[in-house]
Structure 1
């Protein structure tokens, strides 16, 4: 159960950012770096540090501007399932979880990261850009979730589940907003239609 909460915490961080959690998980392992992490273990650590650091800085600075947010939303929506799976599998492997459990965690982590990212995309389009205070909360949550995955998996898992609950509530709000928008659109059309 602890392994699952830790993996959920790590995967949820991938629902906020892409490079930052991968960079942090490697640096938190100190001497091993990304040795146990799927896919990333095949890339030379120096090259990987350069790529992840560059992209993490881009995420941190570009997310503060509207055009940067739009660019990041596309990239993060495409890559968040893969990064969520990598984060979940990595934490489960480090916790020496059984092999079948690791693959289940990878699938769940992938879905969690994708759902969280999808919710952010929805809010981005509804609000026409995320407010700066929301972006700062995303940055902090991403870092906290990765650290909690190792130091306090219960707290990290609870935060991840709360984020999932918020995502579900957001989808209900969007549905109401969409239905209300369609109703008002139909009323406007009926008022502007000319009589035959």
Structure 2
């Protein structure tokens, strides 16, 4: 159960940003965890770190302008399920989940990241841009969810479930607005 909550926490972070959760894992949890990250462990850590720092800076700076938010929405919609799956598998491996469950948790993580990204895209188009203070809260929440996934999985998972509940409520609100 704790493993599922940790995976939910990290997948919520992947639903908000793509490179920032991977960068936080790489910087805080070191080389031991880099070896467990699928796909990224095949590349040299300095190259991966450089790409993640560059993309994280782009995410942070581009999200402040409307055109940057549009570009990020498209990129994040495409890559959030992949990054969510990678992060879910990484957390599952780090928590010594049985191998037959690792891919299931990775799939759930990727789907949850996609759901969060779809809700974020819906709010973006509904509000015609996301206010800067919301983006700042989102960035901080993304970092805290990654930290909670490893250090306090119960709290991180509960936050992710609360965010999922808010996503479901907002989709109901959209339906009420349009129908």
Q: Which has the higher helix share?
A: 2
Is the 2:5–2:153 Cα contact (8 Å) retained in structure 1? yes
Is the 1:27–1:33 Cα contact (8 Å) retained in structure 2? no
Q: Which deviates further from its counterpart, 152-161 or 27-36?
A: 27-36
* 1:12 aligned partner: 12
2: CA distance, partners of 1:56 / 1:108 = 24
Runs of 4 or more, structure 1, over 6 Å off, are none
Measured after TM superposition, the shift of residue 10 of structure 1 is: 0.7
* 1:92 aligned partner: 92
TM value normalised by structure 1: 0.89
* 2:3 aligned partner: 3
Is the 1:85–1:106 Cα contact (8 Å) retained in structure 2? yes
* 1:127 aligned partner: 127
Is the 1:23–1:53 Cα contact (8 Å) retained in structure 2? yes
* 1:155 aligned partner: 155
* 1:44 aligned partner: 44
C-alpha offsets along residues 40-91 of structure 1, whole Å, 9 cap, x if unaligned?
Answer: 0011101101000000011011111111111100000000000001111100
2: CA distance, partners of 1:170 / 1:161 = 14
2: CA distance, partners of 1:31 / 1:111 = 27
Measured after TM superposition, the shift of residue 28 of structure 1 is: 2.2
Measured after TM superposition, the shift of residue 103 of structure 1 is: 1.1
Measured after TM superposition, the shift of residue 173 of structure 1 is: 0.6
> Mapping of 1:8-87 within 5 angstroms?
8-32=8-32, 34-87=34-87
Secondary structure of the 2:16 match is coil
* 1:118 aligned partner: 118
> Mapping of 1:166-181 within 5 angstroms?
166-179=166-179
2: CA distance, partners of 1:102 / 1:28 = 23
Measured after TM superposition, the shift of residue 33 of structure 1 is: 5.1
Larger radius of gyration: 1
2: CA distance, partners of 1:86 / 1:31 = 16
Query: What 5-or-longer segments of structure 1 have no aligned partner?
Result: 180-196
Query: What 5-or-longer segments of structure 2 have no aligned partner?
Result: none
